[in-house]
Structure 1
């Protein structure tokens, strides 16, 4: 788009050697404008499409447009990209083009997952995952008819739209007809199923994930040296099969096959952190940052220090990031956890408010939250969040896990255990870091807490 290459799965804008990040919501807004390039979209249309089901003011739209313009280096007075039409709305005046074409050799870059209802999300998926795409590049430049069809299907995966997923799946089938031994096409079909699973109920997702695992295992038999297949197997064994021994094997095999790929080290670090291996997780994260310095602002290192019970060092890492770039939603979420761990609730609350603003809460809701804090601090704020059934991720993941963590802060251990059990039934991925996260310390002597750990296959840090 103009001089920028837009990558929705990374929430990034790239121009030459320069890469800038956009929050998820502004990126979705930019994509919607791009789908209607040269058309004037009213504020009502944009609010209804991007903030579906939420009661928000026009201010959130103004802020999102401003963030997009800032990232693009655009000007409201002399726009090259987004034009404001007073009283009417906004228009993207720089039509985009799809890149790359299926027949164009491309540089072998891997997108970082927009950690899904984890980062995606894992305590990293706390960022990436609520809309975790779980995508990594498999295969190489087209060298056969089957490979060419595979690359076309892989390209469509990045759109994450239902009709594109169907087309991608069809292309992967055609690729297998051309080349029955093309394991990467099986990887593609598995990814289609996993993406579908992210948008379905728990009951519907289970058979989709099982089918995906079968395809990945078959892909491994056909292409045992495919790093993307090994990585996805590792992630599935870790997050859904809960077979940590096999997960470690697959992660290490993926790194052995493609050690220059930063995503291998990034996800392996998340696994190591859940296992309580903080030193190894820190080494893997440093490797990831060395290979992908543009993602230094993702507060992974800070979170590792926090789980290692070095919150002051974690805060120091956050302060380094804050000095380099504008804090984003993932930064505020990390700051909330770390500052609470340090007992600095007033500062943590500032980041709660920033998270609410960036998440599209109304001015009235934010004002009510301020009143709760004035009356009883974060303890009362979190009790009020439970009462109001605020299920959004405001620094402590989404509900029901969020409610468990709020109840811990509110000194309601029995309620916290109840919500943790519900989170376990819902198979919230962030529970995989429960054994090492110091936030759960008030529950560590509770027998039901250990029961949940056992159900997850996890051991307390001392073991």
Structure 2
């Protein structure tokens, strides 16, 4: 037994104790601790730990960072003032706490020495570790059989009876959570597509009528049983117990202490309404539940969430403040902090939202519910995105990916894919982390699955995300977005409706249909407290007017756009990114009107902001805008000085580079960049312009103006498939 601080670590069984209590940690985290304890005071490189513990896998770096964080949390350690694990920038980590072997007989001491040697050696061959070491209780917990409880199929012919499925599912989860790794039903679309041998155990529930009574049919692993249900009241706890007994499933029903029965039927009706119809209908059920059971925290929490989704910020704050968690279950505490954090994020209160996300993450980890943990990481990623903290964003997003796979990208990333209204969809680092191909597949599965159910809001979320995936053809994406809007229009979820309408505006700007963009943007009703959404809406409205002005050569539209851009720059709360985007948009209007010097100043201001926040994917827009201005001013050398050979997929960067090379008779460079341009999709028009440009003798300003597309000609370098 190894001793450090107030902890004891069983090096043979990989079990950590604090006092007499065992600390439940993932096997990888325990293996990481074992490695540190066998190498105290040594500087250990990240690559050494990766080679020892994560020999394979695309997200090894994120997995190591996450495990370090979990270990620190379990030990109560702080990265800024560490007691156990010190981070050495550019070097690695160092275990700085003294480690002692527990006093024992010589024989036992020898065994500990052997065990430590085994730990050190076997950490480098983890694939064989379980053949040598017995499983710790923590590892056994991790190896619980996976179980997916599917939504109840209501065959009673009475739609109103569907609420009962939410109740029986909740009770089954309560009785099974200590014995199974319960898969969240939101993963059902992906899990059910797996091969039979890879699918989890699946519990299928069907409610049928029978002679003025009901029969609950349950199927698991090829076995089917029927349980008679006299009436659909609040007796679902006893019925869940009967189902598990009949299926001979290990559960907590034998040790279950009878609790006072409370009528929570309205709460479950509210959950059904929330998923299938939206908050407008659900609100009345949750209110009714509180009339029956005033202290019911889940109903209080759902009403707080519903309030802000409907735009009542004052009531939402009051409801959140009124909730007293006390000794509420960890899962409920996690939901409270995540709901509250999402609300704070919508208000632009990012510091408070980040604190709520951290509290939610801690509670979620205590609850050991994978979906809640992933949601906490995704909320953190959302906040880091808004605050331009890219490294933290990448780590949080990768942690979510490690837990729930591509679905983390499919939903979260899609809603950040505004190019100039937000940074590019992949962020400034590691584009490979955004797997649009896999996300598209996941969303397709989700759409098919939710179409078969009555989960309209979940269907709308999937359709909304699918319509934002850049691999989806434009006409297909358009239909997906419009269907999502149709579903949410009467749901009462005003915030979701605002998100869909706003993105539709951006969508039509991308394909140069400014009037249609304005049609949807004008329908957006944002409550004044939602500052980030207001900022985004104002920018998009100005972009829509600019699109009309550029496409139709409409001076009034350009004047309107310019006026709105200047109004946006005068707002106190404008984010640095929106400021930079607005400056670049004003520069494009200046180019259109021939105001090159003013356009150059604005472009340089935008470029400095992009570079300051490491927004290199967005900075390219400003860089090729400066190139164009130099070409217009007859300065091809200055334009070439800005050319970036690494940006081989930027249409206009290659286009302007080839044109500038021709102007100084650099035939080789002109040909090379033209070849790279020809390899890109949607480049035919630009290639034709270059061919005509090449045939001209003498490249005057008039020729350049007539032949070369300006930077605003391909907003955001859209690579959508125009089908």
TM-score, length basis structure 2: 0.33
TM-score, length basis structure 1: 0.48
Larger radius of gyration: 2
Larger RCO (alpha carbons 8 Å, 6+ apart): 1
